[in-house]
Chain A
Amino acid sequence: MDLKDKLISSFMAFENNVDIDSAVHDERSDAIKNFEEKGFPSKKEEAWKYTSLKSLQKIDFSIFPKEANALDYKDVKRYFINEIDTYKIVFVDGIYSSFLSETTHDGVDICLMSSALTKPMYKQVIDVYFNKIASKDESLTTLNTAFSREGAYIYIPKSKMPKKPIEIVHFSTGNEASLLLQPRNLIIVEENAELQVIERHQSLTENEVLTNSVTEIFAAKNAIVDYYKVQNDLSTASLIDNTYVNQKDDSVVNVHTFSFGGKLTRNNLNFYQNGEHIDSIMKGVTILGEKQHVDHHTLVHHIQPNCESHQDYKGIYGENATGVFNGKIIVDKIAQKTNAFQQNNNILVSDKATINTKPQLEIFADDVKCSHGCTIGQLDDDALFYLQTRGIPKKEARALMMYAFANNVLESVRIPELKTRINKLIAKKLGVNLGFDL
């Protein structure tokens, strides 16, 4: 049985364990129909031209984890930003781990999607927000919607800010030979409220994992959201991240994506500007080697006038790594005075690494500023020589230059401990220990 058939037949088993007489389940039923019709995207589709899911579909993934697996905090401590205090929503093989988590209902709700979807007290919010911005026809999103049950639920009421950042961490233990995870996150940040989230997917063994995640983020008027995605997984772990952001007037949403590992990573990052004076910021640092593959697909839909979007993605590709950047910007006819900026710079450090980069602009307004640029290059030999003549060995000189190259993106990280962590990860990826932080 191929993976699609297995998923569709599993849906019935799934229905035995959820409340089928609910509005949420109507969404699931519609979603599975869409997935059944469309199936997994193939390379024939323009949006999937450079990323193939074919070999992943041949793997016999377990759809439902058999049991809850316990992990010792000391064994996974290093995957948390443990230099600071954080709220934690932690899942082990897709199942919530209350032992590793720290949730709260103190003025804000930082808890579980499974409770939000089932408890009456959340019904009003779920009715308004659940599956309202996520695509209803993109097949992988609908696949996630069909099986949506668990994930993070965050609700920040008007003018509130959680006392500390939130970490959403998914561990897979390898108890299954191969495991499919489909976390579903819903994040609502009301007027004037603020939120910082760090998300990480971490496989702990060489067993195959595929995560198909959907996150919906709603930023109300004047809200500020910083979302950091740390993708540094093992080479047997694949991730399809579908993130949808809906913004209202004067809100600012920053999404940073750090892609340092994983077998196949696809980031579908979609911003919808439903208001004026909105700022949407997407930044990414990708450093890959081996046969790793990453595909960044961004979309910014400028629906209203006087908004801005900034995209800055830097990539360093070595060995046989492959990368894709596809940045789509749509400016509607009424979205005058839009300022959309997009940049994608890449360095190839091996002859066998490849990158495909493509800006895609659809502009229907006439008074807008849209700029885009992409570069693919190698490290400048003259610059290397310059550093070497100052006594910096070639390897460190190369690292220093790559470090400098990625620096712009790190500057906007607003959690200093996370910034330090990312700095160290970059240094580690580049195989050097630099004597300072940039």
Chain B
Amino acid sequence: MLKINDLHARVEDKDILKGINLEVNAGEVHAIMGPNGSGKSTLASVIAGKEEFEVTQGSVVLDGEDLEDEAPEDRAHKGIFLSFQYPVEIPGVSVTNFMKTAINESRKARGLEEMPAKEMLKLIREKSEMLEIDRKFLSRSLNEGFSGGEKKRNEIFQMAMLEPRLAILDETDSGLDIDALRIVANGVNKLKSKDNAVVVITHYQRLLEYIVPDFVHVLHNGKIVKSGGKELALELEEKGYDWIKNEAVV
């Protein structure tokens, strides 16, 4: 589904990604771990198409199609979803109205009619119940005054509404208490299917107890320095990142 080949990217003359290779197939869950500043969030942003990052070499290919010139919204229409580490507050736009706009813009891009209001409401009800979101919450301004946990839960709610083929969860566990973490992870697990894929970006192993990865990759200094199964996450938790760094130097 997703194929990243020798990806190099920079921001303001600073090289951040220095040759990433990664292949994600439908039905798989990948975890990308690594110390702070290793390039995890940059990788997520580059896949989602953030303009500030300049791809200097390599490619991101989705279903055989190079995404190089695709705007973020076009990538979203093709099924890429990024759950933000720091979701942005949009005062004056309710969660419901925001989702209506997002869904209908995606449908428009695919040549579909707008979703009928009744169907939209049903979908909103269904997905908000799944994530144990209070209905009142949906009429509040997007992310404005939301707690850290509410913001993250709202990200997963958006993911549930948009049903992406490839979901990238950037530090979705940060700022979550254990109950919220469980609800968010359950939501992600329910959305998982043989047709879609999830990439979980995290600093800690904690979230991976709930969203169990098929593959774990360790990012260091803009490169994937080690890949393995879910047991690699446990090893990292135990030993920290230093041994990886040392190994990388050797």
User: Which of A389, A394, A407, A434 is most buried by chain B, counting CB atoms within 10 A of its CB?
Assistant: A389
Q: What's the Cα separation between A155 and B16 when bound, in Å?
A: 70
Chain A neighbourhood of B92, CB < 8 A: 403-405, 407-408, 438
* Contact A389–B82 (Cβ < 8 Å): yes
Question: Once the chains bind, are B71 and A400 in contact (CB under 8 Å)?
Answer: no
Contact A438 B97 (CB under 8 A): yes
A390 and B90 within 8 A (CB)? no
A391-B105 in contact given A385-B72, A435-B114 (Cβ < 8 Å): yes
B106 sits at the interface (CB 8 A): yes
Task: Give Cα distance in the complex from A438 to B72, angstroms.
Answer: 25
Kindly state whether residue B56 has any CB partner on chain A within 8 Å. no
Known A-B contacts A385-B72, A392-B73; the reply to A404 vs B93 at CB < 8 A is yes
A380-394, CB < 8 A from B: 380-383, 385-394
Contact between chains at B93 and A392 (CB < 8 Å)? no
Q: Is the CB of B93 within 8 A of A386?
A: no
A-B complex: 4 closest residue pairs judged by Cβ atoms: A407-B92, A388-B72, A404-B92, A391-B76
Contact A388 B76 (CB under 8 A): yes
The answer to whether B90 touches A400, judged by C-beta atoms less than 8 angstroms apart, is: yes
The reply to whether A389 and B48 form a contact with Cβ atoms under 8 Å apart is: yes
**Cβ of A435 and Cβ of B101 under 8 Å apart?**
yes
CB distance from B57 to the nearest CB of A (A): 22
Give min CB distance, A14 to chain B, whole Å: 49
Interface string of B84-111 (1 = CB under 8 A from A): 1001101111000110111111100100
Q: Which residue of A lies closest to B90 (CB)?
A: A404
| B: number of interface residues (CB 8 Å) | 36
Asked whether B71 lies within 8 Å of A391 as measured between CB atoms, the reply is: no
Flag if A391 contacts B88 (CB, 8 Å). Answer: no
Q: Which of B71, B82, B90, B104 contacts A394 (CB 8 A)?
A: B71
User: Is A380 a contact partner of B109 (Cβ separation < 8 A)?
Assistant: no
A436 close to B97 (CB less than 8 A): yes
Known contacts A400-B93, A407-B92; is-contact A391 B106 (Cβ 8 Å): yes
Q: List 30 A-B contacts (CB under 8 A).
A: A382-B88, A383-B88, A385-B72, A386-B88, A388-B72, A388-B76, A389-B73, A389-B76, A389-B80, A389-B84, A390-B98, A390-B158, A391-B77, A391-B103, A391-B106, A392-B102, A393-B71, A393-B105, A394-B73, A400-B90, A404-B91, A404-B141, A405-B92, A407-B91, A407-B93, A408-B91, A435-B104, A436-B101, A438-B93, A438-B97
Q: A389-B48, A403-B92, A435-B114 are in contact. Are A396 and B105 (CB under 8 A)?
A: yes
Task: Establish whether residues B93 and A388, one from each chain, have CB atoms under 8 Å apart when the complex forms.
Answer: no
Interface residue B1 (Cβ < 8 Å from any Cβ of A): no
- Complex alpha-carbon distance, A397 and B73, angstroms: 10
Min CB gap B46→A, angstroms: 12
Residues on B with beta carbons closer than 8 Å to the beta carbon of A386: 84, 87-88
Do residues B84 and A391 form an inter-chain contact, with CB atoms below 8 A?
no
B72: chain A residues at CB < 8 Å are: 385, 388-389
Interface of chain B residues 166 through 197 with chain A (CB within 8 A):
none
Chain A residues closer than 8 Å to B158, beta-carbon distance: 390
Which of A380, A393, A434 makes the CB contact (< 8 A) with B73? A393
Chain B residue with the shortest CB-CB distance to A381:
B52
Give chain A interface residues in 284-330, CB to chain B under 8 Å. none
B84: chain A residues at CB < 8 Å are 386, 389
Q: How far is the CB of B12 from chain A (nearest CB, A)?
A: 13
A407 to B104, CA, bound (A): 22
Bound together, the chains give a CA A403 to CA B50 distance in angstroms of 23
Whether A391 and B114, one on each chain, are in contact in the complex, defined by CB atoms closer than 8 angstroms, is no
